[in-house]
A = this chain, B = another copy of it.
Amino acid sequence: MELYVERGFDETTVAAIAKRAGLTERTFFRHYADKREVLFAGAALLQQLFVTTVTDAPPDMPPVEAAMTGVVAGGVLIQERRAFACQRYEIIAANTELQERELIKLASLSAALAATLRRRGVGEHPADLAAEVAIAVFKIGFERWVADPVHLDLPQLMRESLDELRVVTADTETGRPTTVAAS
C-alpha cells in the first residue's frame, strides 16, 4: 500500500511489495491473486457483512432502512481502518483501471443487497431501487468522510446522506415528498 502511494500503482511490482513486506513473491501470491487484490480483498468481507446485517434486520423494516443497516455496518468497519481506507482511496483515485474495478465492486455490492432484500420479501424492482439508493449513500457518504480532515463519523455521514437524498428526491424544494410525480 505504501509503495502504491509512493510510486503509483502501475509502477509498483509484486517483487517490490513482497520485499517491503518481508515476504517472497510466492508467499504474496499465496495470499493475493494479483496486486489489485491487495486493494480489493476486503470486498468479499464487506459483501458478507452487508448480506448478514440486512438479513438480520427487523422483518418489518422498510427496504431502504434495511439496506442501510448493511451499509452502515460497512461504514463502521471501514471507519475502524481509516488509515487503510484513505490510502486505498488515494491510490484508486489516481488510476483509471482501479476506478473501474471499484465501480464493478459497488455494482456487485448493490446486486448482493438487492438479492438479500428480495429474500426478505421485497419486490424485484423496489429491491433494486432500494439497493441502488443504499449504495449511492454508501459511496457519497464515504467520499465525504475520506475528504474530511476532522474525522467525521462515517455511519453518521451515511445517514445524513440518506436524509439529504430524501430531500433532493422530494417533489419540491420545500422538501414535500410525495409518491405522485409533479408532471
Q: A163 near B177 (CB under 8 angstroms)?
A: no
Contacts of A56 in B (CB 8 A): none
A residues 65-83 near B (Cβ < 8 Å) are 65
Q: Taking the complex as formed, is A150 at the interface, i.e. its CB lies under 8 A from any CB of chain B?
A: no
Q: Taking the complex as formed, is A62 at the interface, i.e. its CB lies under 8 A from any CB of chain B?
A: yes
Interface size on A, residues (CB 8 A): 45
CA distance A172 to B103 in the complex (A): 30
By a beta-carbon cutoff of 8 Å, the part of chain A in contact with chain B is 60, 62-65, 100, 103-104, 107, 122, 125-126, 128-130, 132-133, 136-137, 139-140, 143-144, 159, 161-173, 175, 177-183
Contacts of A143 in B (CB 8 A): 128
Q: B129 near A161 (CB under 8 angstroms)?
A: yes
Q: A128 near B140 (CB under 8 angstroms)?
A: yes
Q: B132 near A140 (CB under 8 angstroms)?
A: yes
Q: B169 near A165 (CB under 8 angstroms)?
A: yes
Q: A103-B103, A181-B162 are contacts. A133–B136 as well, Cβ < 8 Å?
A: yes
Q: B169 near A64 (CB under 8 angstroms)?
A: yes
- Tell me the nearest residue of chain B to A106, going by C-beta: B103
